Amino acid sequence: MKREGLIMRVIEPHIHMIARTTADYERMALMHTVACCEPAFWAGYDRTSAQAFHDYFTHLTEFEPKRAAQYLIRHYAWICLNPKEADNLELAREVLAFIPEFLAKPNVLGVGEIGLNKNTRNELTVFEWQVELALKYDQLIWIHTPHLNDKLKGTRMMLDSLRRWPGLKPERVCFDHSEEHTLPLIRDAGYWAAMTIYPVTKNSAPRVVDCLERFGGDHLLVDASGDWGPSDPATLHNAIFEMRRRGHADDTVEAIFYDNPCRFLGQCPKFAFKPRT
Ligand SMILES: [Zn+2]
């Protein structure tokens, strides 16, 4: 069924609102974004103590939900020690000790975005500690795959690593920042994959729609990655427009940008939105 001109709901699965102004919440609201999810990540500088992470997690779980609510957007967070700061094992141990207190907060969906940055041994160790933590507390997992030349190697390292936990359910894990060469590997292993759109570098909106057409939209999320670098929440809506311009039915578009996030994120009972069917 093709429903021309439908106003569809949109969920932004990955955006770092701490790096964005309130004007971006307003823009997203005007483009019918009803929920956004903020994985814990780098702050633009390396934090110098565990307390700085505690303060950041407090920001993600107290301040951002209130700021988003002014624009009728539900704000959700993922909590973890991010891979860019995961090379210091002593600091990692201190941070991991208080992560469970934040996993219990009402807007936290799981452990993320954990993963690899430069594919180092310590990064992999901290990744595995946090997988263990997620399983212990029955949490969803959001994974950051490294950018550019490290992406394929890092994705393979994490897929291999996750085989250590035979009880881990792949449908409860999403690998973000996937591209043409990693998307099939991730989904063939039963995991969700997400593609991140950037306005200048890496995945563009047309490239993401090409992938959707080539590989299909099952178990696929699309996100805009607003962060500290060149990025724009509207790139998500550029991809929506690109799909419609190419003649995809509105039903198909909403299945990707609303139903799919509801299916993955809705595995956490705190997530309030349900797929249309
Ligand atoms: Zn991110």
Ligand 1 center to residue 208 CA distance, Å?
Answer: 17
Domain presence at residue 274: no
Q: Is residue 270 part of a domain?
A: no
Ranges assigned E (strand) in the chain = 10-12, 33-39, 74-79, 108-115, 140-144, 173-176, 192-196, 220-223
Looking at residue 50, its pLDDT comes to 97
Q: Do residues 134 and 162 touch, judged by C-beta distance below 8 A?
A: no
Measured in Å, residue 188 CA sits from the centre of ligand 1 at: 23
Q: How far is the CA of 151 from the centre of ligand 1 (A)?
A: 14
43 within domain boundaries? yes
Residue 237 CB partners (closer than 8 Å, separation 6+): 10, 31
Q: What is the pLDDT of residue 81?
A: 97
List the CATH number of the domain containing 109.
3.20.20.140
Distance 163 CA to ligand 1 centre (A): 24
Output the CA–CA distances (angstroms, integers) from residue 273 to 98, 239, 258, 264, in the order listed: 28, 22, 9, 11
Owner of token pair 């609510």: 69
Do residues 227 and 14 make contact, with C-beta atoms less than 8 angstroms apart? no
Each residue's pLDDT tens digit in the chain (277 positions)? 555 556 789 999 999 999 999 999 999 999 999 999 999 999 888 999 999 999 999 999 999 999 999 999 999 999 999 999 999 999 999 999 999 999 999 999 999 999 999 999 999 999 999 999 999 999 999 999 998 778 999 999 999 999 999 999 999 999 999 999 999 999 999 999 999 998 777 788 999 999 999 999 999 999 997 888 888 888 999 999 999 999 999 999 999 999 999 999 999 999 999 999 8
- The pair of three-digit structure tokens given for residue 263, joined into one six-digit string: 């299916």
Q: What are phi and psi of 175, to 5 degrees?
A: -95, 120
Per the domain annotation, does 31 fall within a domain?
Answer: yes
The pairing of beta strand 140-144 with beta strand 108-115: parallel
Q: How far is the CA of 2 from the centre of ligand 1 (A)?
A: 33
**pLDDT at 6 (0 to 100):** 65
91 is a domain residue = yes
Nearest Cα residue to 87 out of 120, 50, 54, 51: 120
Question: Does the residue 275 lie in any domain?
Answer: no
Expressed in angstroms and rounded, the spacing between residue 264 Cα and the centre of ligand 1 is 17
The domain containing residue 112 runs over which residues? 10-265
Q: How far apart are CA 99 and CA 10, in angstroms?
A: 29
In a domain, 233, yes or no: yes
The pLDDT score that the predictor gives to residue 5 is: 58
Asked if 126 contacts 116 with a C-beta cutoff of 8 angstroms, the reply is no
Ligand 1 centroid from CA 46, angstroms: 15
| Residue 199: per-residue pLDDT | 79
Q: How far is the CA of 148 from the centre of ligand 1 (A)?
A: 15
Is residue 276 domain-resident?
Answer: no
**216 Cα to the center of ligand 1, angstroms:** 24
Residue 113 alpha carbon to ligand 1 centre in Å: 7
Instruction: Please give the distance, rounded to the nearest whole angstrom, from the Cα atom of residue 72 to the centre of ligand 1.
Output: 23
| Domain count for the chain | 1
CA 226 to ligand 1 center in whole angstroms: 8
Bridge partners (DSSP) of residue 175 are 143, 193
Q: Which amino acid is at 255?
A: A
